[in-house]
Structure 1
């Protein structure tokens, strides 16, 4: 399930500063991008407010339905790319993410963001009073032409959530906790290609990222 914890072609160390999921909680909870603390809220409370950094950067969340629980998370590509300088300044991405690279690899960058904020959204939902035993989470992005495209989806149970040490969240914890991961086939191909493009671009600039070899995603792919 690489897309839930890292890009499907896992090359993010070259450009991404959030190498530990502790950083993800800082970005996704109220101390960072502004997901509301759920301890004092009752399900189904919003898992992200509209007056937050995450919303300003192009992320929206909504309950597609509450029984059974289904949460949809969407990145607006145009808004996301417009705020890339702010994300670089905040330390989410490093300065190697040049304007040219942003234009070359938008899905790679959106996938990097979703992998970082996903744990915070999951944690916020399952710490609400009356949270369901299970919830389905699905990521989408809205392209500049207004079309909506699937990215990744997965199921999470409250029991699996409760087994995670959220105070010391480690990179990859969501990998073993999530169930039924699905990577959209088209998105998977695009992210892999853009990751190769990023690697080539960095090598031409004299930057040789420490990249693992390509691996197949362990999650199912949508047709």
Structure 2
């Protein structure tokens, strides 16, 4: 992710262990608009879609389990209204109908935000 310029060079491998949900949230926020645009670009006959972001992590027994992050709806009419070259990806949460963040993921994110910011600050 660092090499692809999704994360800055301040992101260390240790941060992935300390704040994985924080990093997943950044990744989702950065990539979701491109996924929405790409989906509607490639599927001109589809008028609406529900997008669901999830992640896979081991459960208490070591088996893979799927956990929700966010979900939202998007329509072709909304897709056509967006000026994609100038679109601020932070606004997706504002304009996407039925945007919902999972409460448990949100709690984990809140728990990790301060330690993540402190680690990023120490990597300056």
- TM-score with structure 1 setting the length: 0.49
How far apart are 1:167 and its partner, in Å?
2.5
Aligned position for 1:81: none
Q: Does 1:174 align with 2:92?
A: yes
> How do 1:24-173 residues align onto structure 2 when only pairs under 5 Å count?
87-127=1-41, 128-132=43-47, 134-144=48-58, 145=62, 146-173=64-91
Alignment partner of 2:68: what SS? strand
Pairing partner for 2:106 from 188, 195, 202: 188
Asked whether the 8 Å contact 2:10–2:123 carries over to 1, the reply is no
The answer for unaligned runs of 5 or more in structure 1 is 1-86, 208-223
How far apart are 1:106 and its partner, in Å?
0.8
How far apart are 1:169 and its partner, in Å?
2.1
Deviations 1:145-194 (A, max 9, x none): 41110000111111111110013222433233201111111100001111
CA 1:170–1:202 in 2, change beyond 3 Å: closer, same or farther? closer
Asked whether the 8 Å contact 1:137–1:154 carries over to 2, the reply is yes
Asked whether the 8 Å contact 2:57–2:66 carries over to 1, the reply is yes
1 CA distance for matches of 2:91 and 2:76? Answer: 14
**Number of corresponding residues:** 119
CA RMSD of aligned residues (A): 1.8
Asked whether the 8 Å contact 2:54–2:70 carries over to 1, the reply is yes
Greater helix content: 2
The answer for unaligned runs of 5 or more in structure 2 is none
Aligned position for 1:201: 119
Alignment partner of 1:91: what SS? coil
